[in-house]
Amino acid sequence: MMPRALLAKFIPKPSTFSRLQFNQQRGLHSRNKKAMEFIAKGWNALKEVDRVIDYCELNDRRLIPLLNTAKENFELALEADNTNTHARYWLSRLHMKYHVPGANKAVAAALLVEAADMGDPDAQYALGCHLRVENDDVHSDQQAFYYLEKAVDQLHPDALYLLGAVYLTGDCVKKDTASALWCFHRASEKGHAGAAIAYGSLLLKGVKIPESIIKFSLKRGPVAQKRGKSKESIAIDPVEMAKEKFQIAAKAGCDLGLKWLARLEEEEKRLLTQEF
């Protein structure tokens, strides 16, 4: 039987689950829930702005009530829960992208950096993009790469796609086609149309599939073909995998995905005709 003294180490003291701590945890959950409600209201207002903004001027007065609603709700979300990274990100985006009354680029930058450092993947991706595009500083590329990698660690689709493009072109990093393929593959698994097209087209060009992707894909039925009993004899059909990627792009509404699928279908018909 386990000694009483040893058991006591695993039994929490009564103070560990005090009423005060329970109330604090419940209060934190309540604040987070309230913040998310405000974010949802602000996001809906911003979505309505995006729906009509292409048909009017950027500073159209008819957009101001919607922009004010979004700004007010994102600010209320931060007041409700100052640790909420989504509120910081969306408020930053509002100040940076839209002609909202009282917009301040310095505030936007500060909020974006805070959200990124607090671990928000959308903010990390956005900050990485801004550092790459809008700065001529020598160190900005390194900082951009740092934040992009942080977003990639959380499997952010756009960050995966961008990092894949960086590896494929060798822009500010050593060119690494295998890493590019891995990024495109994981982004396409998240439904990213551009990554799916890039990955599929590289396969059709004859680029070798990395072993890490083969192992990852073996669990997925259509592209895995067993040629024997040993693991080494299991291979991936690159054409079938490319077709699967183009289907992902087509499902996401990408016309290029449909064109690639039609092209593959024509090629298959041509080959069948030659055989007979």
Whether the predicted pLDDT of 242 surpasses 50: yes
pLDDT, tens digit, 9 for 90 and up, residues 55-76? 888 778 889 999 999 999 999 9
Residue 36 has pLDDT above 50, yes or no: yes
Cβ-based neighbours of 107, under 8 Å, separated by 6 or more: 92, 95
Please, which pLDDT band fits residue 216 given cuts at 50, 70 and 90? low
Q: Concatenate the DSSP letters of all residues of 68-130 into one string.
A: HHHHHHHHHHHHH-TT-HHHHHHHHHHHHHS--TT--HHHHHHHHHHHHHTT-HHHHHHHHHH
Length of the chain as a residue count = 276
* Domains of the chain, first to last: 28-124 (1.25.40), 155-276 (1.25.40.10)
Which H helix or E strand runs over 235? strand 234-236
Assessment of whether the complete model's pTM goes beyond 0.75 = yes
Q: Is the pLDDT of residue 95 over 70?
A: yes
pLDDT value, residue 89: 96
The arithmetic mean of pLDDT across residues 234-261, rounded, is: 89
